């Protein structure tokens, strides 16, 4: 399984049968971009149930960070399953959770901390909920400032803080109180001439001069929370000055900073955590997705001064599951030894190649942006003299790429995202670029 090979019409007959079964019995809340049914995987390649081989450019939405079926990850999982599968790490001790907690605590950059503590859970949304609980408890305050286009999961607490798509919130009210929204800066022109701030200065001024003076008093704000690189909102990388400005505001008013690193963390941007690109440390950091190469584990990390809540204040039955911890421990080994460096190097190569395609294929590609192997391509069109999002073109590109054997995903209003396994090589990037060149020629 080392090259793309499409043998049947898509979907093939076996895939059709499985998809029909899913449609009958699985929740209608699911969303599928194209009819792919996974049967096997290795590295950056995946095979469907009909024997068609694709290249995977989404890694289970930035989860299979070390690629599919990495032998060292599989060996770590296998060794642990031969010893025991579970004990509740929230109530009992085991011989792996504390060791990995120390490793994660020591690698996570936390503001004004001599020692960090870790709480293990299962999903990014659960880590978000726990981080908000902790911030409220530690400060005695109730309000949280989030950002437009942000995404923090699908729990009630998560959707209360989301503003990337209204479908995530519609019909679920009343939502968690105390969530307020501010603007996240961007450097690209889409849509043009918006009636809201997009610059670093404008966004910071809105936060202090509008929100804090007209909506919520800063001394009642527990946390300012954001994704260092917005994920579902469109792979938006903020200027360093904006993150620095948020840190100054937090320090000024005694507010905790929460960095939601669920999608952008664990090597995805070329560093263990995306916050390292800005030389700014948060007070609480959430992590999940790529932390364990596909095993379900998440965590949030804070200083021992902040994470000083009493016994029984928070818990999780499955959090820190020993099998998932084994995968996470080995994943961290691989990130530190080679994969962060590969994400940085190959990510720059990938983005440079995509920028060449942008120049080649005209005004429909409005922007190429990202950090490491977290790259977004934004599609635009002109409408009455304005540059606006073109989500229809983005979706057409994704569907056409699928027929060429390339699995990609959408995010934001009109962004195509690339978040491949961090093991991807430059030769494999060249294959992707050739396919995207052909797809752009067919669709644009």
pLDDT tens digit sequence for 13-40: 999 999 999 999 999 998 888 999 999 9
Would you report the helix, strand and coil content of the chain in percent, each value rounded to 5?
40, 20, 40
**Residue 114 and residue 324: Cα distance in Å, rounded?**
27
The pLDDT of residue 94 is 92
What backbone torsions phi and psi does residue 120 show, to the nearest 5 degrees?
-95, 140
C-alpha separations of 225 from 208, 237, 408 in Å: 15, 15, 28
**Residue 294 and residue 160: Cα distance in Å, rounded?**
26
Examine the pLDDT at 189 and tell me if it is beyond 90. no
The pLDDT of residue 37 is 97
Q: How buried is 261 (Cβ within 10 angstroms: 0-12 exposed, 13-18 middle, 19+ buried)?
A: buried
Residue 90 DSSP symbol: T
**Residue 417 is assigned to a structural domain of this protein:** no
Does residue 393 or residue 189 have the better pLDDT? 393
Crossing angle of helices 391-403 and 426-443, in 10° steps, is 120
Examine the pLDDT at 90 and tell me if it is beyond 90. no
**Residue 168 is assigned to a structural domain of this protein:** yes
Examine the pLDDT at 336 and tell me if it is beyond 80. yes
Residues 266, 65: contact at Cβ < 8 Å? yes
Q: How buried is 170 (Cβ within 10 angstroms: 0-12 exposed, 13-18 middle, 19+ buried)?
A: exposed
Examine the pLDDT at 1 and tell me if it is beyond 80. no
User: Up-side HSE of residue 170: CA atoms within 13 Å toward CB?
Assistant: 5
Neighbours of 344 (CB within 10 A): 18
**Residue 67 is assigned to a structural domain of this protein:** no
pLDDT mean over 259-266:
98
The pLDDT of residue 55 is 98
**Residue 258 is assigned to a structural domain of this protein:** yes
Token pair listed for 341 = 């460096």
Among the listed residues 76, 80, 79, 98, the one whose alpha carbon sits nearest the alpha carbon of residue 89: 98
Examine the pLDDT at 173 and tell me if it is beyond 80. yes
Examine the pLDDT at 330 and tell me if it is beyond 90. yes
- In terms of C-beta distances under 8 Å and separation of at least 24 residues, what long-range contacts does 355-363 make, across chains too? 357/433, 357/436, 357/437, 357/440, 360/437, 360/440, 361/440, 361/441, 361/444, 362/444
What residues does 284 pair with on adjacent strands? 258, 302
The pLDDT of residue 372 is 98
Neighbours of 341 (CB within 10 A): 15
**Residue 41 and residue 160: Cα distance in Å, rounded?**
36
**Residue 246 is assigned to a structural domain of this protein:** yes
Q: Where are the alpha helices (DSSP H) in 51-110?
A: 59-62, 71-81, 97-107
For the domain that residue 212 is a member of, what is the CATH number?
3.40.640.10
**Residue 84 is assigned to a structural domain of this protein:** yes
Q: How far is CA 84 from the centre of its chain?
A: 30
Strand (E) or helix (H) holding 398: helix 391-403
Token pair listed for 349 = 């190569």
87: Cβ contacts below 8 Å, ≥ 6 apart: 94, 322
Strand-strand pairing, 143-147 and 179-182: parallel
The pLDDT of residue 296 is 97
**Residue 61 is assigned to a structural domain of this protein:** no
Secondary structure of residue 371 in the 3-state scheme: strand
- Indicate the average pLDDT of the chain: 97
Q: Which tens digits make up the pLDDT trace of 390-419?
A: 999 999 999 999 999 999 999 999 999 999
269: Cβ contacts below 8 Å, ≥ 6 apart: 229, 277, 343, 347, 370, 371, 372, 373, 374
Residues 175, 160: contact at Cβ < 8 Å? yes
- Domain extent, residue 141, equals 74-335
pLDDT mean over 347-353:
98
Q: Where are the alpha helices (DSSP H) in 227-305?
A: 240-253
352: Cβ contacts below 8 Å, ≥ 6 apart: none
C-alpha separations of 385 from 192, 195, 331, 382, 414 in Å: 9, 16, 49, 6, 18
Indicate the number of domains in the chain.
Answer: 1
The pLDDT of residue 43 is 97
Residues 302, 283: contact at Cβ < 8 Å? yes
Secondary structure of residue 380 in the 3-state scheme: strand
**Residue 15 is assigned to a structural domain of this protein:** no
């Amino acid at each position: 399984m080392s090259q793309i090979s499409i043998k049947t019409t898509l979907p093939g007959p076996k895939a059709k049968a499985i998809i029909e079964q899913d449609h009958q019995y699985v929740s209608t809340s699911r969303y599928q971009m194209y009819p792919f049914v996974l049967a096997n995987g290795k590295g950056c390649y995946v095979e469907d149930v009909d024997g068609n081989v694709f290249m995977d450019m989404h890694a289970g939405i930035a989860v299979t960070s070390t690629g599919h079926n990495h032998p060292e990850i599989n060996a770590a999982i296998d060794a642990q399953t031969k010893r025991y599968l579970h004990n509740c790490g929230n109530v009992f001790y085991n011989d792996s959770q504390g060791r990995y907690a120390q490793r994660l605590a020591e690698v996570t950059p936390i503001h004004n901390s001599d020692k960090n503590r870790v709480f293990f859970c299962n999903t990014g949304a659960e880590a978000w909920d726990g981080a908000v609980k902790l911030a409220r408890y530690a400060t005695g305050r109730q309000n949280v400032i989030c950002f437009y286009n942000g995404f923090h999961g699908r729990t009630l607490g998560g959707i209360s803080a989301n503003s990337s798509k209204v479908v995530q919130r519609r019909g679920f009210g009343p939502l968690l109180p105390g969530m307020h929204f501010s603007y996240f800066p961007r450097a690209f022109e889409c849509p043009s001439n918006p009636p809201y701030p997009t610059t670093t200065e404008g966004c910071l001024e809105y936060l202090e001069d509008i929100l804090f003076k007209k909506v919520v008093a800063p001394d009642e704000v527990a946390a300012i929370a954001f994704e260092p690189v917005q994920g579902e909102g469109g792979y938006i990388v903020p200027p360093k000055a904006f993150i620095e400005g948020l840190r100054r505001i937090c320090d000024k008013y005694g507010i905790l900073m929460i960095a939601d690193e669920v999608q952008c963390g664990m090597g995805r941007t070329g560093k263990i955590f995306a916050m390292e690109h800005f030389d700014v440390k948060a007070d609480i950091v959430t992590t999940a997705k790529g932390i364990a190469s596909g095993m379900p584990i998440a965590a949030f990390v804070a200083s021992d001064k902040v994470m000083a809540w009493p016994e029984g204040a928070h818990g999780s039955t499955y959090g820190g599951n020993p099998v998932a911890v084994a995968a996470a421990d080995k994943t961290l080994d691989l990130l530190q030894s080679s994969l962060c460096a590969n994400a940085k190097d190959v990510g720059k190569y990938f983005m440079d190649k995509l920028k060449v395609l942008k120049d080649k294929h005209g005004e429909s590609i409005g922007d190429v942006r990202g950090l490491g192997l977290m790259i977004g391509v934004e599609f635009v069109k002109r409408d009455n003299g304005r540059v606006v999002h073109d989500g229809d073109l983005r979706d057409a590109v994704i569907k056409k790429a699928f027929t060429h054997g390339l699995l990609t995903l959408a995010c934001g209003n009109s962004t195509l995202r690339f978040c491949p396994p961090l093991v991807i090589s430059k030769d494999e990037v060249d294959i992707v670029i050739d396919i995207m060149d052909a797809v752009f020629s067919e669709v644009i």
